Amino acid sequence: MRSLGAPSIMTIVLLLVVAFAAPPVMSFYSVPPYWFHVAIVAYFYAILASSWSLLAGYAGQFSFGHMALMAVGAYTTGLLGRYMSFGVVEGIVSGTLLAGLFGVVIGYLCLRLRRTYLALFTIAFSEILRLTLMAEHEFTEGPDGLPLTPLFATTSKVPAYYAMLGLLVVSLVFMYWLVNSRFGLFFRAIREDEEAAAAMGVHVVRYRVMVFTISSMIAGLAGAVEAHYVEIITPNIFLVLQMSIVIAMAVIGGLESLIAAAFGAIIIHFALELLRPVGNWRMVVFGLLLMLTLRFFQNGLLHPLLQRMFRQRVLAETVAKRQVPSEG
Amino acid sequence: MKLELRDVSKYFGGLKAVDNVHVTIDKPELIGLIGPNGAGKTTLANLIDGVHKPTTGSIWLNGARIDGLPPYLIAQRGLGRTFQVTRAFRRMTVMENMLVPAMAVRPNAEKRDVEEKACKILELLTIEHLRNELGRGLSGGQQKLLELGRLLMLDPHIIILDEPFAGVHPKLQETIYGYIGQVRSQGKAIILISHDMDSIFSLSERLIVLHNGAIIADGLPNEVKKESVVIEAYLGKEEGEGDDA
Amino acid sequence: MIFDVCVESFPYVAGLIINGLVIGVIYALMGLGLTLIFSVLGVVSFAHGEHYMIGGFVAYFLLKWIDGFPPLLAVVFAGVATFVIGAVFDRLFLRPMHSGRVERPAEYAILVTFGFSFFLQYLTLAVIGPFPMKAQRFLDWRIKPLFGTVAMYSTRVVAALIAIVLISIVLWFMYRTWTGRGLRAVSQDKDAAAVTGINSLNMSTLAFGLGTMLAGMSGATLVQVFSWVFDVGVPASAKSFVVIVLGGMGSIPGAMLGGLMIGTLESLGAGCFPDPNRGMAYKDAFGLLVFALVLLFRPQGFFGRKL
């Protein structure tokens, strides 16, 4: 399948080195901690965008409930921490598992729903969750916000930076393995033509539920970690809007590539932060960019770029290999 | 191998699509399934394959009941089919298309062995050179061939080919003939649904005629084609019956 | 307990039902717009609520800037503005989908209308700002409480009356004019309609524009009732989805029935809930729950085509 050639591996290693070396370098140059925060949130979005691209881009399940599952992870750890004295780690694990459970349920419920109906159903789920969180405000603190134990007992943002970065790397590696395994083949077959996939022996039920569960767990995990980092969560009235942002990042990056979606998220988030002085107009441009990308670049903006960058080198390699046998 | 349909009927609302069909296939043979348009041939294929559930009756494969099972379980038990409209996986390569059923049926197989097997089949179908092409980059005829190859990766005992010759040019038809011959010689049973009478009569060892959802003839092709019910079904009623003067 | 009130007090329940029907009429109008879009284009517009929002603002600013501007005219202008926005969007972004030039049309439609919704919300936020606004009541009319005890909101009744007029016009248009019949023909069978000389691409643009127009006009009638802000379209979108799924996607009578039912359901749900505060908070959730159940068990709703 898509095995990595030497140039791709080198680039990835380079990027990892840059990402991991960033904090000490940034500290050295006295970059304000604000930028650590931006990076952490960027990684958070990258995890969400890539896990959504797994669900929607690879498996074709256009669920709009992804952020809601993120919120499940966040609120689980928050509520368990507050009412049952769960520690940070236990809370995060519970949040991940509960989000996964919701994913299983939604996966099963959605089995007979096709594209648009799936989207509508998951929007309904997301809204019902939000309304419940708001309505039960005695329990959840509602819009006032539920406080959480900090992720690390320090004011420095560096540990949280590494935590989120590590989470991003681990989830990308996992999803990459998944996508290149036979499961990835099945997900894509289901996306292409579910009936034909079934006729070819693909256990449609099992794999649809599986992809929902896995992407939900990743979203829940990200949500739980982020919640402890930010130390407060609200049933964000912009839950739907947040979903749009994640979708936009995934689409602009490239729906059918985990890496492109993750990169798209990071680049877009940094760009949005850099453009803060422009105010809300940057979001308007972002929205317009999303629409134009869909209209003219259905495979995303980043993905074709990355493909071109790597394909040229892979081609060169293949040509070189073909010429070798003629010797001796 | 044994496929049995026992008194199978299928109603869609008030419409009777399949009417009390009783058929047994218990040896490798090539069965032509013909009938006028709307006779219920594809519905029958859908019933066997698990896409639809019979309203009454039951379907048995190798002694186990399969009606009501989802199509993927039936496929895993060795029953494969193609569709009237080609349904290759468009955004996956030819090789990936071939890998899907193989991995579904035998998850622990060595990838290399599976790929080798796939290449052999693709060669037979003259499309081996396209192995890394995306499904959507193939011509209609090539996609049809891909579907036929993909089917074999299931290691099926029985296959249903739904209109494999529809809209194909002669060269392609030759390739498909060759494929059918190969499959037949491997000891599989083939149900061939087609309107192409030439192919049906030159290939079939047994002929089943469907009309208004019911089987009106089942036997050797040369005998069946002489039966009056069959002729009537295709040509319509005799003059003088049913029409006002 | 309030629950007892619901069971024992007929006027209270009647009041809830009547108020529910009143708001339901406007839901019906919104649903009508969305079902029209779905029936002709086969697409659910995820930006429907945003047209509602923009219609409201158009009406608001007309009434604010021009003294004595007739409210009904404001509603009409709002409709024209949203019609144009919808038609332009269809022409630029949806037409390639109709002409088959887009690879995955179902996905594309979902994503591009979602993107449009995002764009419109932030555009409004950037231009108008985040502070809620509310228009003055259209008519200085106070309704006496029905049966002596049931409070009636005159602004909503006015809005509902306007909506009824609009619905009647739309129905007349769809069933009695050539263009309307053309739209219905395309909704039933695009190719067959094409054979009779109907340009389905133009019909699609017309349908989309009409659908967004109805949303815009719904908003314009309600801007005197509710506080208006850039994301007021989000729950409106959700409600429209609920209405059309309940009534049956693509069905005009279904949208109307669905609208009335959802309005009543919400009103009864909120009013009869044991805890009044929770009831209010969960108001939107009742419709959503019904919506989820319908999607799971009877996706064609009341009058929709069997999937």
User: Taking 70 as the threshold, does the pLDDT of residue C92 lie above it?
Assistant: yes
The yes-or-no verdict on residue A1 having pLDDT over 50 is no
Q: How many CA atoms lie within 13 A of C175 on its CB side?
A: 8
User: In chain C, positions 73-92, which contact chain A (CB-CB < 8 Å)?
Assistant: 92
Out of A177-191, B88-102, C93-107, C257-271, which region has the weakest mean confidence (pLDDT)?
Answer: C93-107
Distance CA C221, CA C218 (A): 5
More confident site: C240 or A306: C240
Whether residue C47 lies within 8 A of chain A, CB to CB, comes out as no
Q: Is the predicted pLDDT of residue C139 greater than 50, yes or no?
A: yes
Is B243's pLDDT higher than 50? no
Nearest CB among B87, B96, B154 relative to A196 is that of B87
Distance CA A241, CA C130 (A): 15
Neighbours of B (≥3 Cβ pairs closer than 8 A)? A
Over residues B177-226, the pLDDT tens digits come to 888 888 888 889 999 998 888 888 888 899 988 888 888 888 888 888 78
Residue B237 confidence (pLDDT) above 60: no
- Using CA atoms, how far apart are residues A227 and C86, in angstroms rounded to an integer? 39
**pLDDT(A315) > 80:** no
Q: The tokens 């619901």 sit on which residue?
A: C6
pLDDT in tens, C255-299: 999 999 999 999 888 888 877 777 788 888 888 999 988 888 888
Residue A176 has pLDDT above 80, yes or no: yes
Question: Identity (one letter) of the amino acid at C129?
Answer: G
Write the residue in B83, B99, B107 that is nearest to A196 by C-beta.
B83
Judge: B99–A182 Cβ closer than 8 Å, yes or no.
yes
Q: Residue window 217-276, chain C: list those with CB within 8 Å of chain A.
A: 231, 234-235, 238, 241-242, 245
A92 versus B108: which is more confidently predicted?
A92
* Parallel/antiparallel/unpaired status of strands B158-162 and B79-81: parallel
Confidence of residue A237 (pLDDT cuts 50, 70, 90): low
Tell me the C-alpha distance between A10 and A6, whole Å.
Answer: 6
Judged against a pLDDT cut of 90, whether residue C54 lies above it is answered with yes
Question: Mutating which of B84, B100, B144 best tests the A interface, going by the most A Cβ atoms within 10 A?
Answer: B100
Q: What is the pLDDT of residues B18-28, one digit of tens each?
A: 888 899 998 88
> What length does chain A have?
328
Read off the pLDDT band of C7 (50, 70, 90): low
Residues 6+ away with beta carbon under 8 Å from A214: A51, A54, A100, A103, A175, A178
User: What is the average per-residue pLDDT within B33-50?
Assistant: 87
Task: Assign A327 a pLDDT band (cuts: 50, 70, 90).
Answer: very low
d(CA A257, CA A265): 12
Angle CA(B150)–CA(B156)–CA(B157) in degrees, nearest 5? 150
Distance from CA of A1 to the nearest CA of B (A): 8
Nearest-neighbour CA in chain A from C285: distance (Å): 6
Please list every residue in chain C whose beta carbon sits closer than 8 Å to the beta carbon of residue A240. 234
State yes or no: pLDDT of A198 exceeds 90.
Answer: yes
Most confident of A228-242, B161-175, C41-55: C41-55
Q: Which residue in chain B is spatially nearest to A60 when comparing CA positions?
A: B91
- pLDDT given for residue A312 in this prediction: 53
* Cα B83 from Cα B91, distance rounded (Å): 18
Structural domains in chain A? Answer: 6-321 (1.10.3470)
Sheet holding B15-25: strands in order across?
B15-25, B3-12, B56-61, B64-65
Instruction: Mark yes or no for CB contact A280/C295 under 8 Å.
Output: no
Residue with tokens 């990355």, as numbered in its chain:
A306
| Closest listed residue to residue A24, CA positions, set A152, A161, A153 | A161
Delineate the domains of chain C, giving CATH numbers in brackets: 2-133+142-297 (1.10.3470)
C82 and C54 in contact (C-beta within 8 Å)? yes
Long-range contacts formed by B25-28: CB under 8 A, 24+ apart: B25/B1, B25/B158, B25/B189, B25/B191, B26/B1, B26/B2, B27/B1, B27/B189, B28/B1, B28/B184, B28/B187, B28/B188, B28/B189
- For the question of an ipTM over 0.90, the answer is no
C71-C76-C81 Cα angle (round to 5): 120
A237 to chain C: closest CA residue? C231
- State chain C's mean pLDDT as an integer: 86
The predicted structure's pLDDT at residue C296: 86
- CA-based nearest distance C147→chain A, Å: 32
Percent of chain C beyond pLDDT 90? Answer: 40
Which amino acid is located at B120 in the chain?
K
Q: Is B158 helix (H, G, I), strand (E, B) or coil?
A: strand
Q: What is the pLDDT of residue C269?
A: 85
Task: Supply the DSSP string of A46-65, one letter for each residue.
Answer: HHHHHHHIIIIIIT----S-
CB contact under 8 A, B104 and A204: no
Mean pLDDT across C162-183: 87
